[in-house]
Chains A and B, each alone.
Chain A
Amino acid sequence: MRGQYLLALAIALFLGVFLIVPVATVVYVAFTEKGGGGLTLVNFLDFGRTDLFVRSFWNSVYVSAMTVVWASVLALPLAYLTTRFEFRGAMLVQTLGFLPLIMPPFVGAVAMQLLFGRNGSVNLLLDEWFDFKIGFMEGLNGVIFLQAIHYFPFILVNLSAALRNIDRSMEEAAQNLGSHGLRLFRRIALPLALPGYIAGASLVFVKVFDDVATPLLLNVKEMLAPQAYLRITSIGIDDPMGYVISVVLILVAVATMWATALVMKGKDYATTQRGGGGLARRKLRPREQALAYAVVFFILALVLAPHVGLVLLSFATVWSFSPLPDGYTLAHYTRVLGDSSVYIKNTLLYAGLAATIDVVIGGAIAYLVLRTRLRGRQWLDWAASTALAVPGVVLGIGYLRAFYGVNLPDGTPLATLWIVIVLAIAIRRLPYALRAAYAALQQISISLEEAAENLGATKARTVRRVVIPLMTGGLLAGFVTSFATAAVELSAVLILVQSNSDAPLAYGLYVLMQTPAGRGAGAALGVIAVLIVAVCMWLSQLAADRSQRARGLDI
C-alpha cells in the first residue's frame, strides 16, 4: 500500500510540474494584465479587436475544415473499395494508414512546393502541354493540400474499421426488405460507420488546427498556431497575446473533442456478431476493376509525392524551374552526416529518453488504475490524457514561461537546458504510451497475478515476476511508437530549442529548409528521419507480432 501511494504521488508530482503547471501558467498569463496586474479579460478583447488574429482564427478554422473535406474525398472511395469489394489493392490501401506516422507534413512541405508550386514540376508540365497552371500551393490552398494528403489516412483507417465492424446481416436484412445499391449504402452502411468517420475527422481537424511548422514552411503566417509561435519568438515571452492565442488553441481542441464525444454518445454501433464478419464483398467487374486501380494509384501517387520529392531534393544539385533536378549528388548526405550529425545524435538521445519516461509512467499509471483500489487513481489517467488537448506550441510556451525564472545553482535558467525538451516531448507522447500500456495490461488475466500471490509472492514481486514479463511486448510496442513520433516532434521543440547544438533533427530540418541553400541538406535530414521512423515502425510491428505469438503459446 505504501509503495503504491508513493508511486502515485511521484507520478502526480511529475504531471503537475511538467504538464499542469506550464499549461496553468499559460492560462493565468492570458488572463492577467501585462506587467503583472490583476485578473482581466482585456487581453481577450484585444485579441477580438485585432484584425490579424481574427483573420488568423478564421483561416485556421477554414484550413482545418477544408482539410477534413478533402481528406474525406480521398478516404471515402478507398474505404468503400476495400470493405465492399474483393479487391487485390486492399493491402496496399491499408498500408497507407502508416504513412502519416512515418513523416509529419512539414517535412515534405518544401518538396511539395517544388513538385506542385507555381513553378513546380506539375505546373511546368501543365503549362508546356496545356498552357495553364493550377494554384495547388497558393496561400491557404497549399496548407490544405499538404495536410489533406497527409492526414486522410486517419479518416481512412477509422472509416474502414467502422465499415468492417458492421455485421453482414445488417445489410442482408435491408436487401431482404427491398433495398440495394447506393441507396442501401446510404441508409445502412454509412450511418452505421458515421461514428468511426467522425472520430477520424475530428482527429484530423485538431491536428491541422494545432500545426505550426507546415504553414510556416509554406510561408503562411496568418493562421492561429503560427501566430502564437511568432508572437512569442518575435515580441517576447512577456507579451500576453501569445498566451491568449494558446488559450484559444486549447479551447478549440477541447471543444472539438467534446463535440465529438457528444455526437458519439450512445452510438457504439459495433454490430459484428458471432458468425458474422463484415460487409458482404462483391467481385469487381473488369471495367470496375480498372477504374478502382486508377483511383488507388492516383491517390497513392499523391500520397507518395512528398516522399518522392524529398528523396529527389536530397540528391539534387540544383532544382528550380524544371520538372526534375538538373543533376544529382551525394554532397547533402555527406554534409548532414558530417557537421549536422549532432542533430541525429540529439534526436536519438531525446526520443530514447522521452519514450523511456513514457513507458515507465504509462505502465505505472495503467497498473495503478487497473490493479489497485487507490482513491483518485483515475485522476492520474485523466491528467496524463489532457496532454492530448494541449497543442505542442502551447506546451512549449508554457515551459518557457514557467521555467525561465527557475535558475539552476550555476545561474542558468532551467528552461534553456536540453532536458526540458525531452520532458516536453515525453509529456506530448505520454497518452499514446499510456493506451499501449492499458491494452497490454488488460490482456493479462488477473487470475495469473492471483495465482502468484496465492503461491506466496508479494505484490511487488508479482509485478516483477509476472506482470512486467507479460506486458513486455505491449510496452515495447508503446516504446517504439512513442520513440518514432517523438523523433519528428517539432511544434513544442521549435520554441524550446535555445542553441543549434541542443537541437534535434526536426528542428535542424526546419531551419535548413528556410533557405534555398539549406534545402538539399534539409531534405537529406528528412530522408534520414523517415528511415529512422520507418525502421521503428517495423520493429514495433515485429514486437507486437512476437508478443501475440508468445501469448498464443501460453494460453
Chain B
Amino acid sequence: MSKPARAVGIEITGVNLSYGATHVLKDVALSIRPGEFFAFLGPSGCGKTTLLRLIAGFAQAQTGKVLLDGQDVAPLPPWKRDVGMVFQSYALWPHMTVAKNVAFGLEERRLPRREIDRRVAEALDLVGLSAFAERRPAQLSGGQQQRVAVARTIAIEPKVLLLDEPLSNLDAKMRVSVRRELRSLQQRLGLTTIFVTHDQEEANTICDRIAVMDAGTVQQVGTPMELYENPANLFVANFLGSANILDERAGVPIPAGKRLVFRPQHAALTSPEGAPLRGPVTHREFLGATVRYAVRIGESEVLIETPFQSGNEMRSVGDQVGVDLPPRRMLFLPA
C-alpha cells in the first residue's frame, strides 16, 4: 500500500442510462488517465453520482461501456470489481469496531489473519487513526469517520478510488483540511481517483481535471484553469465562478446566436461618457478586499468587482457609470 500501485485508466464510451422515463445519463464519454485525480462536478440531479455508481457496479447502463484498465466491467458484479468506493454517508457498520470495519474487505478476500492485521494497521496508520482501532464508529467525530471510510476502502488496494461527495457531511473548516489530506494521500498512493462533488471550489483545489456535468451530459472536460478561462458554454461559465452574461440589447456588437460573457473582476468602472456599456449603480457591497457593484445595463444587471484600497473613489447607488471591458476578456459563447 505504501508503494504506489500500478495506476489504472478508465474509459467510458457512449453510456446511456435511464430509470423508467428519466434519462439520467446521455451519451457520456470520458477518458480518465492512470493516476489522475478526476472530478465529476455538477448540480444535484446532473447524473454525477449515477455515473460513479455505474463504475462501481451499482447501476446498469442501457448502452455503452466502462473499461477499467482496458477491460469491460459490465459482466462483473460489484463485489468482483476491485473498485473502492467511499460513500457520502461513509456507510460505516455500527455493529463493528473501526478495525473490524477496515478488516472487512480483506476478510472477504480470505487473506491470512496475519496479513489482514498488518494491512489494517497500515491503513489506519495512513489515515492517522491507529489509536482508535477498537472504537465504534459512533464514538468518532465526522472527520474521523470519514478517514475510517477511506482506510476501509484503500485497505483492499483497489484499482481505482471513488469518492462520493466525501466532504459534504463535514463542517466548513474540516472540509479544507480533509480535502488537503485526501489530495496528499492520493499523491502518495498514486491511485486513479474520481471525486464527485457539487462544489466547484472543492473540485478546483484538489483535482487534476474536471468533467462538468449538467442534465445527464458532460458539458466540458479540462483542468480547473482551462474551464475557468475558456468555458465551452454558458452553463460552465456560470457554474465555475460568477459570470456576467449580456445579449445583443446591451449596446455592443455581439455575433448572432451568441452571448457576451465576462468575469466581474475583469471589468472596471469608468465615467459614462463614450463608454459602450453604461448604466446606473443599483447595489454596492463591501467585501473587504474588493467592492462589488451591480450596474444595470439595459434590461440586464452585471456585477463588477474592483479591488479596494483606502482612498479609492467610491461610487454610490444611483451614479451613472461606464463599464470598461478589455476586448481580450470578452468571451462569446453560444446562447
Contact assessment for A172 and B104 in the assembled complex, using a CB-CB cutoff below 8 Å:
no
Known contacts: A176-B56, A176-B78. The answer to whether A167 contacts B94 by CB under 8 A is no
A267 interface residue per 8 A CB criterion: yes
Residues of A within 8 A of B19 (CB): none
Q: Which of A34-42, A269-277, A284-292 forms contacts with chain B? A: A269-277
B91 interface residue per 8 A CB criterion: yes
B146 interface residue per 8 A CB criterion: no
Contact assessment for A170 and B91 in the assembled complex, using a CB-CB cutoff below 8 Å:
yes
Contact assessment for B156 and A169 in the assembled complex, using a CB-CB cutoff below 8 Å:
no
Counting contact residues on chain B (CB < 8 A from A), the size range is 20 to 34
Contact assessment for B77 and A178 in the assembled complex, using a CB-CB cutoff below 8 Å:
no
A192 interface residue per 8 A CB criterion: yes
CA distance A273 to B168 in the complex (A): 13
- For A243-278 the 0/1 string (1 means CB < 8 A from B) is 000000000000000000000001101010101100
Known contacts: A178-B109, A179-B104, A191-B95. The answer to whether A172 contacts B87 by CB under 8 A is yes
CA distance A191 to B87 in the complex (A): 20
Contact assessment for A192 and B91 in the assembled complex, using a CB-CB cutoff below 8 Å:
no
A180 interface residue per 8 A CB criterion: yes
Nearest CB in chain A to that of B58: its residue: A172
Contact assessment for A178 and B91 in the assembled complex, using a CB-CB cutoff below 8 Å:
no
Decide if the interface of chain B is mainly helix, strand, loop or mixed: loop
Closest beta carbon of chain A to B12's beta carbon, Å: 19
Contact assessment for A177 and B93 in the assembled complex, using a CB-CB cutoff below 8 Å:
no
Identify which of A167, A172, A178, A276 contacts B108 (C-beta below 8 A).
A178
Interface residues of A in 162-187 (CB under 8 A from B): 167, 169-170, 172-180, 183, 187
Contact assessment for B94 and A177 in the assembled complex, using a CB-CB cutoff below 8 Å:
no
Residues of B within 8 A of A173 (CB): 85, 87, 91-93, 152
B105 interface residue per 8 A CB criterion: yes
Identify which of B58, B77, B153 contacts A177 (C-beta below 8 A).
B153
A337 interface residue per 8 A CB criterion: no
Contact assessment for A178 and B93 in the assembled complex, using a CB-CB cutoff below 8 Å:
no
CA distance A175 to B57 in the complex (A): 9
B286 interface residue per 8 A CB criterion: no
- For B100-126 the 0/1 string (1 means CB < 8 A from A) is 000011001100000000000000000
Contact assessment for A172 and B78 in the assembled complex, using a CB-CB cutoff below 8 Å:
yes
CA distance A188 to B56 in the complex (A): 19
Identify which of B77, B85, B88 contacts A180 (C-beta below 8 A).
B77
- For B72-97 the 0/1 string (1 means CB < 8 A from A) is 00000111110111011101111100
Residues of B within 8 A of A172 (CB): 56, 58, 78, 85, 87, 91
Residues of A within 8 A of B78 (CB): 172, 175-176, 180
Contact assessment for B91 and A177 in the assembled complex, using a CB-CB cutoff below 8 Å:
no
Closest beta carbon of chain A to B45's beta carbon, Å: 12
Nearest CB in chain B to that of A271: its residue: B94
CA distance A169 to B89 in the complex (A): 8
Q: A172-B56, A188-B93 are in contact. List 6 more A-B contacts (CB 8 A).
A: A167-B91, A169-B87, A174-B93, A174-B104, A177-B152, A179-B108
Measured CB to CB, the residues of A under 8 A from B are: 167, 169-170, 172-180, 183, 187-188, 191-192, 194, 266-267, 269, 271, 273, 275-276
In the complex, 17 of the A-B residue pairs with CB atoms within 8 angstroms, ordered by the A residue number, are A169-B88, A170-B93, A173-B152, A174-B93, A174-B108, A175-B79, A176-B56, A177-B79, A177-B104, A177-B105, A178-B108, A179-B104, A183-B108, A191-B95, A194-B95, A266-B136, A271-B94
